[in-house]
Amino acid sequence: MRTGPRGLVRGAARALAGHGRRSDRVELTERLRARERQQAVVSALGQSALASRDTRAVLDEAVRAVATTLDLCIVNLVERRPDGSQVFAATYGWDRRPGDPAPAAGGPATQVIRGGEPLLVRSTEALPAPARATMDALGIRSSAAVVVAGDDGPWGALVSHSSSPDAFGPDDLHFLQSVANVVAAVVARARVEHELQLRATHDALTGLPGRELLRERLNAALAAQAGPVGLLLLDLNGFKDVNDSLGHHVGDDVLRQVAPRLRTPLDPRDTVARLGGDEFAVCLAAPRSREELRDLTGRVSDVLHGTYETPFGPVSLGGSVGAALAPDHGLDAHTLLRHADQAMYRAKRESTGWAVYDPRLDEDPTTRLRAVNELRAAIAQGQIRLAYQPVVHLATGTVRSVEALARWTSPTRGPQSPADFVALAERSGLIGDLTDEILRLACEQAARWLTAGRGLAVAVNLPGSVLAQHGYARRLAQRLEQAGVPTRLLHVEVTETTLVSEAAVTTLRHLVDLGMRVLVDDFGTGYSSLGRLKQLPVQTLKIDRSFITGLAEDRADLAIVRAVVALADELGLDVVAEGVETRQVADALVALGVPRAQGYLYAPPLPAAELEARLDAWPSSRTAMTEIG
Ligand code: C2E
Ligand code: CA
Ligand code: CA
């Protein structure tokens, strides 16, 4: 029963028009007023539900609003737990706290949760004895209850009690249901938020903490100063062969076997994390001496070495382990990670299985300096190129925008990963220059396409540190103007982390005012509160690849994407999926109502000329051109 409050008012007005007698009219006017009041309460509740980050506060507000609007003695939100038990989620007029058990036997909550239909209890006599005793003791004479819907089946019930007999009419039930619907939306959002947070901090494949959480634990251990803090970094030798020859499902199986092995020589307080691919880390929380660390590193290397079970029979793998110890090898997480990494590479290079960091063997200050100088020269000499990847409208095949991705082939070291050289630029202060160069190229290309009648919008990845620069919005607008590119043809991709910076958000606000479009990149991997999005200058959520690539098989991913789509809808935001590699995933996206997608299925990032050739051969590219032209 999801009758909206607006429908209620219209219904009453129609009834009013049809009634001639004066007393009827007075009564109907009264009802109409009451409904309008109720409608205002529901919409105010809906507003604070959207704005608030605090689920419990909204639930408290909901029960209070029901009690004051209908003048009731007790109003409860009862939640059904997965084990079937019931607890209070919010109460008004009764001194029960959230989480306290809610009396189950035969009460209104139990009845609506079981039956699914709204319930009117005109007098407590209709109830089974135990429930009646409780109600009588509380002075309750009549009750009404409605279901709060959940993902699969009822989440719980909204139960209202009056000290007068037969106090609830059908209008009141409508009102209660509208409030329950707002509560259902709030609860659903809180669940997605929780799920996203878990996913942001934990690796989906193994359930282990991810890089950020490891860093957090490492920092906490360092801050506690309980003694030395050890860090191990390791990867599997030969893993890539398994993945390539037996398939990534088998690879995944192998990865899941790593953590249990690692745990055998470790202390339960140590944190095992997966950093990505076949790379794992261990933060050793228990104090350890240098000797103990050496000993443990060797044992970890031993347990990694051996056979792993696969459906094709056992495969033999080994690993390389690098270790670093605070305070000897560094005082902060960043330095320790780097030094453990250098030790790991030495272990790999020298095939020793493991190594503890040693500055004499591992430190090569010239390497990084050389890389920075090379990158600086590359920017200055125009070695940076852009590749463009189309964003495809799933229903029509139309391409209206492309993402620009930086490419660099070093004359001495060959093609470099953009993730690496962008990070290097961030660390070495070159990010401003690099981003300027990328924007220059992107604007030139956008102008060329505009002149050629293609009018493709170009999305550029802008780091938070650049957006936070004072006056950046104005400089960007000038650049577009000089290039002759209308602002609507520049899209800006930012990460959730960027949205935490006030200065960057201010710039984004200007950019949106100027007509640019802002996308939240890698959506779902950060910590952002979904409620806060409404206040932020963003128009599109770009759902991270990690939720998309396995979408066709993974129910958890499916649930998340479905919830993100619903939320985006609620907030008036657009959605794009990235990392679409198969037809099955594309079909799943269409079924979920995701309008646009990007991924290898359609095209990899390509040089401009190659992209143009693809678009010309594309079935619906002509529509795209005329639509924008
Ligand atoms: P991103 O912004 O999330 O870019 C998308 C990445 O996904 C690109 O990797 C792209 O090649 C890749 N990709 C596209 N379709 C698929 C697919 O179907 N499956 C898979 N597995 N991957 C797909 P790329 O080019 O290596 O860039 C990696 C990251 O480096 C980018 O992630 C972005 O964070 C950064 N980056 C790249 N270019 C720039 C740039 O111009 N400026 C800045 N600030 N960062 C950049
Ligand atoms: Ca991006
Ligand atoms: Ca992305």
Residue 55 CB coordination number (10 Å):
20
Does ligand 1 come within 6 angstroms of the Cβ of 545? yes
- Rounded to whole angstroms, the Cα distance separating 497 from 501 reads 8
581 C-alpha vs ligand 1 centroid, how far in Å? 14
State the DSSP code for 93.
Answer: S
* Weakest mean pLDDT among 252-266, 314-328, 356-370, 448-462: 356-370
| pLDDT tier at 201, thresholds 50, 70, 90 | confident
- Residue 622: per-residue pLDDT: 45
- φ/ψ of residue 492, rounded to 5: -120, 125
Chain segment 109-127, per-residue pLDDT in tens: 999 999 889 999 998 888 8
Instruction: Reply yes or no on whether the pLDDT at 21 is more than 90.
Output: no
Q: Which residues contact 56 (CB under 8 A, 6 or more apart)?
A: 90, 98
Q: Which residues contact 46 (CB under 8 A, 6 or more apart)?
A: 182, 185
- Residue 6: per-residue pLDDT: 36
Mean pLDDT of the chain: 88
Residue 61 CB coordination number (10 Å):
20
- Residue 245: per-residue pLDDT: 85
492 C-alpha vs ligand 2 centroid, how far in Å? 9
Residue of 420, 434, 443, 461 with the most ligand 1 atoms within 8 Å of its CB, for mutation:
461
* % of the chain residues with pLDDT over 90: 57
Residue of 391, 405, 542 with the most ligand 1 atoms within 8 Å of its CB, for mutation:
405
| pLDDT tier at 374, thresholds 50, 70, 90 | very high
- Residue 361: per-residue pLDDT: 79
* % of the chain residues with pLDDT over 70: 93
- Residue 528: per-residue pLDDT: 61
* Weakest mean pLDDT among 346-350, 481-485, 492-496: 346-350
- Residue 149: per-residue pLDDT: 93
Chain segment 555-602, per-residue pLDDT in tens: 888 988 998 898 898 889 999 999 999 999 999 999 999 999 999 999
The mean pLDDT value for 537-546 works out to: 94
Chain segment 243-267, per-residue pLDDT in tens: 888 888 899 999 999 989 999 999 8
Chain segment 154-189, per-residue pLDDT in tens: 999 999 999 999 999 989 999 999 999 999 999 988
- Residue 195: per-residue pLDDT: 83
- Residue 365: per-residue pLDDT: 64
- Residue 627: per-residue pLDDT: 36
| pLDDT tier at 8, thresholds 50, 70, 90 | very low
Cα separation values, 79 from 108, 428, 497, 563, Å: 13, 52, 34, 20
- Residue 602: per-residue pLDDT: 96
Angle at 196 between CA 465 and CA 76, to 5 degrees: 125
Q: Which residue has the higher pLDDT, 457 or 316?
A: 457
- Residue 141: per-residue pLDDT: 93
The mean pLDDT value for 330-358 works out to: 90
Does ligand 1 come within 6 angstroms of the Cβ of 405? yes
| pLDDT tier at 20, thresholds 50, 70, 90 | low
Does ligand 1 come within 6 angstroms of the Cβ of 617? no
- Residue 242: per-residue pLDDT: 86
Question: Which ligand lies nearest to the CA atom of residue 605 in the structure?
Answer: 1
Looking up tokens 């060329």, which residue turns up?
A: 448
- Residue 628: per-residue pLDDT: 35
390 C-alpha vs ligand 1 centroid, how far in Å? 12
- Residue 104: per-residue pLDDT: 62
The mean pLDDT value for 37-46 works out to: 91
* Alpha helical stretches, state H, 52-168: 55-70, 108-115, 129-137
Give the DSSP H or E segment for 628.
helix 621-628
- The answer to whether the CB of 317 falls within 8 A of the CB of 239 is yes
Strand partners, 279: 235, 276
Question: Which ligand lies nearest to the CA atom of residue 392 in the structure?
Answer: 1
